[in-house]
Amino acid sequence: MLHKIMEAFISPTKMIDMFTHQIVTDQPIEIIANKVQQACDNYKFALLKTYNYHEIVESKGFPINRKVFIYEICQAKTVSFMLTDYPNFSIFMPCKLVIYENNGNTVISTMNMEIMLKTVSANQELYGNAITLFNTLKSMMKSLSSKE
């Protein structure tokens, strides 16, 4: 029912904006992609997997006209807390960091976790860890977007 209410009052574009956190930069995608491993190390994220999605879909016969990189990243301590009490959150794990080209810019994006994390606020320690993780991820994204 909530789904129908949201569709009635929120456009698909606004819905995507509501559920994502993104930073747009004019830096070339290759420069940002080359900084991801070091940024993960600096911000204490484990880089679990990297997907060059533009290459993957092209190899399946569906080329796209933009580069898209998807990174699966994790902070094991917070994951451990989350999965101990809320195993249903496993569908949101690991965290995704996405970098793609759009209209001559590079977009750095992730899921806006704030909405979902409110559902675990009864466990203050877990909630605090999860919010800290999300804030750290946003800081990492900002550092990736900066010209250093």
pLDDT tens digits, 29-59: 999 999 999 999 999 999 999 999 999 999 9
For 11-23, what is the mean pLDDT?
Answer: 81
Domains contained in the chain, CATH given: 22-143 (3.30.310.70)
Q: Does the pLDDT of residue 25 top 90, yes or no?
A: yes
Residues ≥6 apart with Cβ < 8 Å to 71: 36, 40, 47, 49, 50, 51, 96, 97, 98, 99
Percentage with pLDDT > 90 across the chain: 72
Strands 20-25 and 46-52: unpaired
- pLDDT at res. 30: 96
Q: Using 50, 70 and 90 to split pLDDT, how confident is the model at 115?
A: confident
Mean pLDDT of 91-97: 93
The confidence score (pLDDT) of residue 109 equals 97
Can you give the pTM of this predicted structure? 0.88
For residue 145, the tally of other CB atoms under 10 A from its CB is: 20
